[in-house]
Structure 1
């Protein structure tokens, strides 16, 4: 019989544990506020919603070093091209006292798939979810989905009864229980989130009493709070702040590869940028290696693909040479011997590095006769322009949260999505084949072909990968330094 434990008993257990603890709470300030903790809503794709959810909820599997690891599922099997079977873990209890069974997975997946926006885009091929018994879940798809397990890793599970009680509501006002290491105690959207330890966590009780996330809008404020022992951990620290922090014995600085990369897209549906020779010319005109070395000496590395090295499907390419004379030759061949004028748009939310990179690119382009006006915009304005293809060029950063090429390459360069005005039937065929291919080695081969096309056609300039910079008090250990910059804290200890 399911749902054997009562919520009252779970609450009593939490209170008893708190009374004998050492009262050690991890104090966290992320680079952006947590505005929503609904694991299935329109903000489920937002990094800080994912990060908050990872403390409260469990997924069926997680990926470690590129391989799936069981969490709420102990076994999984691809029955055929369009069918997957999962066996659930025994002894998992939600924070409301109910016990995990297959109905919870079904309800969670169906709720996510029905959402507008967010991670729902990963589940457009979902057909049905069957529950032949309490410990078995069978997911049937309309067609094979190559990155299926990567998508499953982002599905956070909540109790079916609690999901039913939402009556179709999504968003920041929703509070769903999880089965994770920490329980929601209070949440003020955009301000703070307080979690307390779950003493009955199936993976073992946390070694800390809880976590408090607080919003500190300015970088200088976060760094000051860290040095003054007002917070324990932050991340997203830029290059110019790192040396001083590295020399401070009170804090630890960890710089790790991330899933984030920089890109400068050309609008392939507009004017000069329809011609690949023009796009290649603008790439050859910029000394990208020098720009990265100057602006991102610690947090960047020269880009060699339109995704980061940490992402499944990565295939390194030969960087474009810095060759202004070749750039001028290509412009002349394309019919622009005197150059042309254009605009480069970017958002203020992408920070100083993007602003400085934009100005550097503009300076290089000026030397070959291409006069580019840099336009920094408010993020909402920039996003609207990006969506409407109302731009010549855009400069930004982008993450691959599933750590799979389908999330970025498969979505951003498929011509039916028209994300950047570029269309290539050969590329479309490869990307759709990669999306449907279950054999992961074949998927890698297909993405290598796709990346080569994107690179050689210069759909954009891909100057750099970004590194994740985590800074925390030296008394803290056990943080899972995620390349997605959405860390997990379930194994944290505080001395």
Structure 2
């Protein structure tokens, strides 16, 4: 068959087009896996037990389980597992109406019996969350109605701490737990990695990505390198001295957000060394926190004037502690302080190592021998709860945005969280927890703040702003004051 000039021309054009197509760059595929490197590792996926109040466990629980209601970034509460709720005038009774037809990821129906069992498990395990529910009982009228009753008012934020698990769950089930949240567990290695896939049975908007991975990278520099190379899609808890470099990278978005976290350094008042407020105040007076914070945390830290962050109800400003090493040493000498002993300060977050060193250096200037002891997370928690420490450094947040959850849970004598016991404080906290009038409650929490601050139950030097950074193409990622961003809507 004879080829015409026209057919030869078309053949040449087609060949050229194919050659160009072979050489032309193709569009990058949409990334189906999102990897985040959180500030805090997750030791356990059990939201009810010893680590139930931990930020890492709480972050994971948000992805796996459901709550009756959940807070937004402004501290207000919105429906989650419950579609609505009612409360009586004094806040001592809350009735929740569950969404109809909710199932766990294994297709088991979720009913009010699961809510009751989850609450009972919190109380039976007697972990950190149990202190929020002293004197509270729960009853299920039917499969979709559950009522919490208390002798004193309850807060929405307290009830938002209850993650719902299956009624017959056992401790062993939390290696790969079954929940009703937006994701299901694919694999979990404590303090290393948690891999999740979308829960297709989720009652809300099912995540659109193929996999979400929480990857714990202890070294901040390694974590940030992974972000800049695209190995990690988001991270937070970024030191101030790393922010400028990140902001210079057009592939990364950086944002600082206020949190409810306050650097809290409890003294173990059950030990003779720290039994008096004179010694505790003198040790606080010996540390130049203003200079340390302005040097190490010029953007993410602010000198605190309260036991609580400013965005928490019940936070009231107190008189600042003044740095005066001469007065501090004189007060210690007067109190008969043993300058030959060694004080251990336990902590777990690697990013605060330099902060610890600065504190130790200032204490040494007045003759106090202190040594920072960094502990692995599980050991830290065990030692914290058993009062196996001299000074305990931790970031304490208030997930309910209300002082009742922080002051009312951590500082009564019965809590025995730091060895401090003050019947006057107990009475104030009990009264504040028994009324609903906001003005009266604020006045009582002001009194409580003044006692805790004035007696130096601990040192409360810094309110923390959390710096977040994420790949610019990542959608649906938003900073969160509780340092637990909602990752159910992230994707590229």
TM over 0.5: yes
Cα 1:342/1:292, change in 2 over 3 Å:
farther
Partner of 1:283: 284
Structure 1 counterpart SS, 2:257: strand
Cα 1:173/1:490, change in 2 over 3 Å:
closer
Structure 2 counterpart SS, 1:114: helix
Structure 2 counterpart SS, 1:462: strand
Cα 1:458/1:34, change in 2 over 3 Å:
closer
Note if contact 1:344-1:392 (Cα within 8 Å) is conserved in structure 2.
Answer: yes
**Cα-to-partner distance string for 1:32-65 (whole Å, 9 max, x where unaligned):** 4434323334433232221112122221111222
State whether structure 2 residue 375 is matched by structure 1 residue 378: yes
Partner of 1:155: 162
Cα 1:247/1:140, change in 2 over 3 Å:
same
- In the alignment, the residues of structure 2 paired with residue 191 and residue 360 of structure 1 have an alpha-carbon distance, to the nearest angstrom, of 29
**Cα-to-partner distance string for 1:391-428 (whole Å, 9 max, x where unaligned):** 55444433334443233322332223333333322111
**Cα-to-partner distance string for 1:434-476 (whole Å, 9 max, x where unaligned):** 2333444433332111001111222222111122222210111
State whether structure 2 residue 460 is matched by structure 1 residue 459: no
- Could you tell me which of 402, 406, 414 is aligned with 1:404? 402
**Cα-to-partner distance string for 1:60-101 (whole Å, 9 max, x where unaligned):** 111222222122223222236542211223454432334544
Note if contact 2:233-2:474 (Cα within 8 Å) is conserved in structure 1.
Answer: yes
Note if contact 1:38-1:176 (Cα within 8 Å) is conserved in structure 2.
Answer: no
Structure 1 counterpart SS, 2:67: coil
Note if contact 1:83-1:138 (Cα within 8 Å) is conserved in structure 2.
Answer: yes
- In the alignment, the residues of structure 1 paired with residue 111 and residue 268 of structure 2 have an alpha-carbon distance, to the nearest angstrom, of 49
- In the alignment, the residues of structure 2 paired with residue 110 and residue 389 of structure 1 have an alpha-carbon distance, to the nearest angstrom, of 26
- In the alignment, the residues of structure 2 paired with residue 356 and residue 295 of structure 1 have an alpha-carbon distance, to the nearest angstrom, of 8
Structure 2 counterpart SS, 1:163: coil
Note if contact 2:176-2:187 (Cα within 8 Å) is conserved in structure 1.
Answer: no
Matches within 5 A, 1:129-144: 129-131=139-141, 133-141=142-150, 143-144=151-152
State whether structure 2 residue 340 is matched by structure 1 residue 345: no
Matches within 5 A, 1:280-429: 280-327=281-328, 330-331=331-332, 334-335=334-335, 340-347=339-346, 349-353=348-352, 355-367=353-365, 369-379=366-376, 386-387=384-385, 389=387, 391-429=389-427
- In the alignment, the residues of structure 2 paired with residue 276 and residue 232 of structure 1 have an alpha-carbon distance, to the nearest angstrom, of 47
- In the alignment, the residues of structure 2 paired with residue 404 and residue 356 of structure 1 have an alpha-carbon distance, to the nearest angstrom, of 31
**Cα-to-partner distance string for 1:342-378 (whole Å, 9 max, x where unaligned):** 533223523243x3333333443444x4422324253
Structure 1 counterpart SS, 2:66: coil
- Could you tell me which of 44, 48, 54 is aligned with 1:40? 48
Give the number of the structure whose alpha-carbon radius of gyration is greater. 2
- In the alignment, the residues of structure 1 paired with residue 220 and residue 67 of structure 2 have an alpha-carbon distance, to the nearest angstrom, of 32
- In the alignment, the residues of structure 2 paired with residue 235 and residue 54 of structure 1 have an alpha-carbon distance, to the nearest angstrom, of 17
State whether structure 2 residue 110 is matched by structure 1 residue 112: no
Cα 1:356/1:344, change in 2 over 3 Å:
farther
- In the alignment, the residues of structure 2 paired with residue 475 and residue 151 of structure 1 have an alpha-carbon distance, to the nearest angstrom, of 36
Note if contact 1:194-1:212 (Cα within 8 Å) is conserved in structure 2.
Answer: yes
- In the alignment, the residues of structure 1 paired with residue 422 and residue 297 of structure 2 have an alpha-carbon distance, to the nearest angstrom, of 33
Partner of 2:174: 172
Partner of 1:218: 219
Structure 2 unaligned spans of 5+? 1-28
Over aligned residues, Cα RMSD in angstroms? 3.0
> How high is the TM-score relative to the length of structure 2?
0.83
- In the alignment, the residues of structure 1 paired with residue 326 and residue 254 of structure 2 have an alpha-carbon distance, to the nearest angstrom, of 42
> How high is the TM-score relative to the length of structure 1?
0.82
Q: How many residue pairs get matched?
A: 461
Note if contact 2:364-2:370 (Cα within 8 Å) is conserved in structure 1.
Answer: no
Cα 1:344/1:22, change in 2 over 3 Å:
same
Cα 1:391/1:43, change in 2 over 3 Å:
closer
State whether structure 2 residue 32 is matched by structure 1 residue 24: yes
- In the alignment, the residues of structure 1 paired with residue 276 and residue 190 of structure 2 have an alpha-carbon distance, to the nearest angstrom, of 46
- In the alignment, the residues of structure 2 paired with residue 190 and residue 352 of structure 1 have an alpha-carbon distance, to the nearest angstrom, of 16
- In the alignment, the residues of structure 2 paired with residue 431 and residue 84 of structure 1 have an alpha-carbon distance, to the nearest angstrom, of 22
Cα 1:401/1:439, change in 2 over 3 Å:
same
- In the alignment, the residues of structure 1 paired with residue 126 and residue 332 of structure 2 have an alpha-carbon distance, to the nearest angstrom, of 44
Matches within 5 A, 1:238-277: 238-271=239-272, 273-277=274-278
Note if contact 2:262-2:395 (Cα within 8 Å) is conserved in structure 1.
Answer: yes
Note if contact 1:264-1:461 (Cα within 8 Å) is conserved in structure 2.
Answer: yes
Structure 1 unaligned spans of 5+? 1-20
Note if contact 2:360-2:372 (Cα within 8 Å) is conserved in structure 1.
Answer: no
Note if contact 1:113-1:126 (Cα within 8 Å) is conserved in structure 2.
Answer: no
Q: CA deviation at 1:103?
A: 3.1
Note if contact 1:55-1:181 (Cα within 8 Å) is conserved in structure 2.
Answer: yes
Structure 1 counterpart SS, 2:420: coil
Note if contact 1:260-1:398 (Cα within 8 Å) is conserved in structure 2.
Answer: yes
